Amino acid sequence: MKTRILFLLKYYLYWILFFVLQKPLFMVWQYGQLGEVGWRDWWLVPWHGLPLDMSVAAYIAMAAGVLLTISVWVRWEYMRRSINTLTGIVLFVALWVMLGDNGCFPHWGYHLDKSILLVFTSPQEVLANAEWWVWLAALTGFVMLFTVWWLIYKETIVHSANKHIYTQMAHTLTWKSNVASTMVLLLLTALLFLPLRGSVTVSTMNTGRVYFSDNPMLNQAAVNPLFNLIETLTTSEFDTDKYTYMSSLEAQEEVSELLPKHNVEQSDTISLSHTPALLTTSRPDIILFILESFSYNAWKAMPCVRQLACEEGVLFDNVYASSYRTDRGIVAVLSGFPGQPTSSLMLHPAKAQRLPNIGLDLKKAGYDLHFWYGGDEDFTSMRSYLVSGGFDKRVSDKDFSLYERMSKWGVPDHILFSHVADSIASRLSPVSPTFDVVLSLSSHEPFDVPTRRFAEPYLNSIAYTDSCLGVFANQLKQSHKWDNTLVVMVADHGFPYPEGISRFDTLRYKIPIVLTGGAVKEPVTVHTLCSQIDLVPTLLTQLHLPTDAYRFGKDILCPTIVPFAFYSFNDGFALITDDGATVIDAAVDKPVMERNPKPERERQARAFIQRIMETIEQL
C-alpha cells in the first residue's frame, strides 16, 4: 500500500512540475511582449499559476489513482502498462498544446482555445500559418521534450514502484489488507477533487483565478494552456450567463442611449434628407474588398489605397474592427453584427442564416451577387454563411489551377484580383447591377508574398496587397465599368503592429474604410468615430434601402448618431467613445485599460455585450 501511495503522490507532483516549468518557457518565448518585468515576476508567475497547474495535474492523477486502486486486485503488470499508456497519451497532447500555444500566442494574442478544432476540418489552412522549418523545429522540440519527460517519469516513478511492488508480490497478502489498501487509495484519489475544483464552495476553478498583475502579459503567462483549452471546450459556445450584468430591460435601456432610433422605418425608398449623398447614383455596381489584417497602423505601407482614398474617394479614418478573427470580421462587414469574445456565429449555420445580410438586401434590390476568395471556402463554415447570404456565384481555390495556387493559403492576391478585374470588365452592360465581394488572403501569416518592399514581413505583405489593389483599380479604370462602380475597402480585423501591442489595446483594432470609384461624387475624409458594423447601414442608406434589420449598426454620416465603437477580443470587450475608452477583461470581470474612466461607459459596455449575447440566444 505504501508503494502505491508514494506512486500516486510522485505522479501528481510530476505533472505539477511539468506545468510549472512551462511558465518560464512561455515567458522566454514571449519576452518581447512582456514589457518591463523584474526578477520577482519570474517567481510570481509560476506561484500564482500554481492553482491551475494543480487542477490539471489532479485530473491526470485521478485517472492514475483509479488504475492504482484496481492494481490491488489484479496483476501489477497490467495496470503498469495502463498507467504508462495514460502518461504517454497525456504527455503527447500536453506537449503539443504547450508548443502550439507558444507558437500561436505572438500572432493571436491569446491562448489556444476550441478554435484549434479547425485543425481537423481544414488542416491545410492551419499548416499554412507557418513555414516548413517552423513545423520541423516544433517537431524536433517535441521529440526532445517528450524523451526527457518520459525518462524522468520512468526513472523517478515507475522503476522504484516496480521494485517494491514485485517484492511485495512475493509475500502473501490477505484479503483484509487489500480492502484497506483499496479504501486508502480511493480516499486519496477522491481528495484530488479539491485541487481539481479549486474550492469547496460554489466557485470553481477558472483561468481568472491566476490573474494577479497590472501587466496583462504576466497574467497570460500564469495561465495553464491545457486548462484554458479544456475550459473553452467544455464551456457553452455562447455563454450568455457569463455576460449577464443586469436585467435585460436595463441592458436595452443602456444600449438605446448609444443606438437611438436613427434608422427610418422600413419602406421601398429611403430619404437622404438628413445624410449627405456620397454617390452619383443610387444603383452603382459595387465591389467590396475585405482585406486581411489591413490595420490602420500599417497605413504607411498602403500608398495605392491612400491615393484612392484621399484623392479619389471617401476615407473613414476613425474606424474600429468588431473583433479579432476573419470569421467574425466577415459577419461584421456583411451582416453588421458584432463579434463575440469566445465564439463565432459563422461556425453555427443554424443561427448565422437568421442574420441580416447585405447580400440578401442587394439581391432583393435586383443585384447580381458574386463572391471571390483564393482559399478554402469551407474554412470556418464560410460556405454555409455565404449561401444563406445569397451568394450563389462563388469562386474559391478549387476554381484555380494548381500552378495559380502558389501560396501557403491558396491563390495570391495579384492572381485573384486579376481574375476579378477580367470578369468585371468582360461583363456586358446588364439590366441589373452587380455586387462583388473579394476576400484577400496574402497578408495573413506567414506573409509569403512574391515581392519585397519592407523588411518587416507583415508590412511587406500589406504593401504587396496594396500594389495589387492599385493594379486592379487601374485595370478597371480602363474599362467602361469604372464610372458606375463603387469600390469599398475594409479590413476584416486589425493586427498587433508594431510589435508589443496587447491583445486588447485599442490600436490593434483601428482599421480604415475606403469608398472609391467613378460613382463617388468627390473626395472627403470622415473623422466620425465608428465601427466596422456601421458599414452596411451606411451603404444601404446611400442606396436608399432599408436598414432596420441591422440593430447594432448606424449610418456613420447621419448627424444625429452617437459616435462610438465596440469590439471584442478573446474573453473580453471594449467600448470607445469620443471622450475615452473602457476595456474589460471578462476573465477577471474588471477594466484592464481605461482612457478617461467613466462608470457610465463601463456600464454601457457591459450592456452592449449582454445585448449581443441575448440576441444570439434568440436567433
Q: pLDDT of 288-300, one tens digit each?
A: 999 999 999 999 9
DSSP collapsed to 3 states, 545-605: CCCCCCCCCCCCCCCCCCCEEEEEECCEEEEEECCEEEEEECCCCEEEEEECCCHHHHHHH
pTM of the model: 0.78
Nearest to 222 by CA among 44, 87, 49: 49
Q: Which amino acid is at 506?
A: T
Tell me the three cell numbers of residue 127: 499548416
Rounded to whole angstroms, the Cα distance separating 530 from 566 reads 9
Q: Name the DSSP letter for residue 285.
A: E
Rounded to whole angstroms, the Cα distance separating 436 from 422 reads 13
Rounded to whole angstroms, the Cα distance separating 265 from 152 reads 70
pLDDT band at 71 (very low <50, low <70, confident <90, very high): confident
φ, ψ of residue 438 to 5 degrees: the values are -120, 120
Instruction: Provide the CA 220 distance to its chain's centre, in angstroms.
Output: 16
Domains and CATH numbers, the chain: 2-234 (no CATH), 283-560 (3.40.720.10)
User: Do residues 308 and 473 lie in contact, with contact meaning Cβ atoms separated by under 8 Å?
Assistant: yes
pLDDT at 271 over 50: no
Q: Name the DSSP letter for residue 69.
A: H
Rounded to whole angstroms, the Cα distance separating 331 from 615 reads 15
Q: What is the mean pLDDT of residues 265-289?
A: 75
Rounded to whole angstroms, the Cα distance separating 543 from 469 reads 24
Rounded to whole angstroms, the Cα distance separating 472 from 424 reads 11
pLDDT band at 240 (very low <50, low <70, confident <90, very high): confident
For residue 394, what is the enclosing H or E element? strand 394-395
Q: Which is more confident, 274 or 441?
A: 441
Nearest to 331 by CA among 272, 380, 278: 380
The confidence score (pLDDT) of residue 228 equals 85
Q: Which is more confident, 108 or 326?
A: 326
User: Do residues 519 and 485 lie in contact, with contact meaning Cβ atoms separated by under 8 Å?
Assistant: yes
pLDDT digits 0-9 by tens, 538-562: 999 999 999 999 999 999 999 999 9
Cell 519592407: give the residue.
454
Q: Which amino acid is at 257?
A: E
473-511 burial: b if 16+ Cβ within 10 Å, else e: bebbeeeebbebbbbbbbbbbbbbbeeebbbbbbebbbb
- HSE (CB half, 13 Å, CA atoms) of 360? 17
Work out the number of other CB atoms within 10 angstroms of the CB of residue 68.
Answer: 28
Q: Which of 106-110, 223-227, 418-422, 598-602 has the lowest mean pLDDT?
A: 106-110
pLDDT at 121 over 70: no
The confidence score (pLDDT) of residue 175 equals 65
The confidence score (pLDDT) of residue 184 equals 86
Q: Which of 99-103, 130-134, 324-328, 508-512 has the lowest mean pLDDT?
A: 130-134
Work out the number of other CB atoms within 10 angstroms of the CB of residue 435.
Answer: 24
Share of the chain above pLDDT 70, in %: 89
User: Do residues 16 and 39 lie in contact, with contact meaning Cβ atoms separated by under 8 Å?
Assistant: no
Q: How far is CA 516 from CA 78, 358, 389, 489, 524, in A?
A: 72, 19, 24, 8, 10
The confidence score (pLDDT) of residue 122 equals 58
- HSE (CB half, 13 Å, CA atoms) of 367? 29
Work out the number of other CB atoms within 10 angstroms of the CB of residue 596.
Answer: 10
Cell 481555390: give the residue.
397
Nearest to 44 by CA among 211, 208, 229, 225: 211
Rounded to whole angstroms, the Cα distance separating 515 from 256 reads 29
Cell 506561484: give the residue.
47
Rounded to whole angstroms, the Cα distance separating 86 from 91 reads 8
pLDDT at 263 over 80: no
Rounded to whole angstroms, the Cα distance separating 219 from 588 reads 10
User: Do residues 259 and 552 lie in contact, with contact meaning Cβ atoms separated by under 8 Å?
Assistant: yes
User: Do residues 384 and 406 lie in contact, with contact meaning Cβ atoms separated by under 8 Å?
Assistant: no
pLDDT at 182 over 60: yes
pLDDT band at 268 (very low <50, low <70, confident <90, very high): very low
Q: What is the mean pLDDT of residues 513-532?
A: 97
User: Do residues 382 and 334 lie in contact, with contact meaning Cβ atoms separated by under 8 Å?
Assistant: no
Q: How far is CA 477 from CA 79, 423, 424, 480, 490, in A?
A: 74, 14, 11, 8, 20
pLDDT digits 0-9 by tens, 129-175: 666 667 788 889 899 999 999 999 998 888 776 655 545 544 445 66
Helix H segments across 192-347?
Answer: 193-197, 216-222, 225-234, 248-258, 303-310, 326-335
pLDDT digits 0-9 by tens, 362-379: 999 999 999 999 998 877
Q: Name the DSSP letter for residue 239.
A: -
